[in-house]
């Protein structure tokens, strides 16, 4: 029998050594949750023993992919597995970030997401080592440690699972379009923003009453120390005008979802 967990934390990894950052932080959380790890590196195997050695002793499921899917599809594989456990909320975390609080307040049924704040670490690896030891040991100086208020995106944001479960059913209808868009890009698409827009678009498609709420508290630490040029075989960032290019890409991805929703709602016959 499957135990029901009210919260699922979905963690995607491809460079498995980064789990040494994210897993110990999850082990420190006071709230009960189910951790689902999706290993998107077919050349490696992540085991339960490996996760336990990093300090996490809670409920755990691991997906070891036989091919590299990319972040977006990997997260939807997590969503598919999470559905069998019937959680109320799903929170995503990157393998090199720290989720430091998982409190879910009492909210109305019309609340589809709980937006909070994040700390972003730049330049100094010493700050990363400090928060890995104690997640509250940071000083926002505006340069090495900055405050992202609010933190907009799916990482660190509790999202109603029923929105994600229904959204997962639509994904096959947009996969071909996404593949064509990706083939035209010379940089890795901003998956965090794309998925967040998908969640918002689908929530408002279901009901105009659905809204996110904002809690003015820090629950996530983003690691911006890794300035690698490449990600999943592409440039990690646009070579120029990054903000403008990201906005255009997110809009194009969102148009694919809107078209799929429009076709699904159209009368047949």
Spatial separation of the C-alpha atoms in residues 26 and 34, rounded to whole Å = 11
pLDDT higher than threshold 80 for residue 5: no
Is pLDDT above 50 for 43?
A: yes
Quickly list DSSP for 63-110: EE-SS---HHHHHHHHHHHHHTT--SEEEEEETTSEE---------TT
Q: What is the reported pLDDT for 4?
A: 52
Mean pLDDT of the chain: 93
Contact 192, 153 (CB under 8 A): yes
Count CA atoms closer than 13 A to 5's CA, side-chain side. Answer: 23
Per-residue pLDDT, averaged over 23-30, amounts to: 96
Using one digit for the tens of pLDDT, what is the confidence trace for 165-222?
A: 999 999 999 999 999 999 999 999 999 999 999 999 999 999 999 999 999 999 999 9
Query: Using one digit for the tens of pLDDT, what is the confidence trace for 140-153?
Result: 999 999 999 999 99
């Amino acid at each position: 029998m499957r135990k029901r967990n009210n919260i699922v934390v979905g963690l995607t990894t491809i460079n498995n050594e980064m789990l040494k950052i994210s897993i110990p932080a999850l082990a420190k959380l006071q709230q009960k949750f189910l951790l689902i790890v999706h290993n998107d590196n077919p050349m490696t195997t992540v085991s339960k023993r490996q996760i336990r050695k990093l300090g996490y002793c809670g409920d755990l499921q691991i997906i070891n992919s036989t091919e590299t899917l990319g972040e977006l599809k990997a997260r939807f594989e997590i969503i598919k597995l999470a559905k069998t456990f019937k959680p109320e909320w799903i929170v995503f975390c990157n393998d090199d970030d720290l989720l430091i609080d998982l409190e879910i307040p009492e909210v109305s049924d019309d609340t589809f997401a709980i937006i909070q704040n994040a700390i972003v670490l730049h330049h100094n690896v010493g700050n990363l080592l400090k928060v890995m030891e104690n997640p509250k040991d940071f000083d926002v100086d505006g340069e090495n440690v900055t405050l992202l208020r609010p933190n907009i995106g799916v990482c660190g944001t509790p999202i109603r699972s029923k929105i994600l479960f229904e959204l997962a059913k639509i994904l096959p209808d947009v996969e071909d379009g996404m593949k064509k868009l990706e083939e035209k890009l010379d940089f890795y698409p901003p998956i965090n923003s794309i998925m967040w827009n998908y969640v918002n678009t689908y929530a408002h498609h279901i009901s105009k009453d659905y809204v996110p709420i904002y809690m003015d508290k820090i629950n996530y630490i983003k690691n911006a120390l890794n300035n690698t040029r490449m990600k999943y075989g592409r440039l990690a960032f646009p070579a120029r005008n990054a903000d403008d290019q990201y906005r255009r890409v997110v809009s194009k991805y969102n148009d694919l979802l809107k078209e799929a929703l429009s076709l699904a709602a159209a009368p047949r016959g």
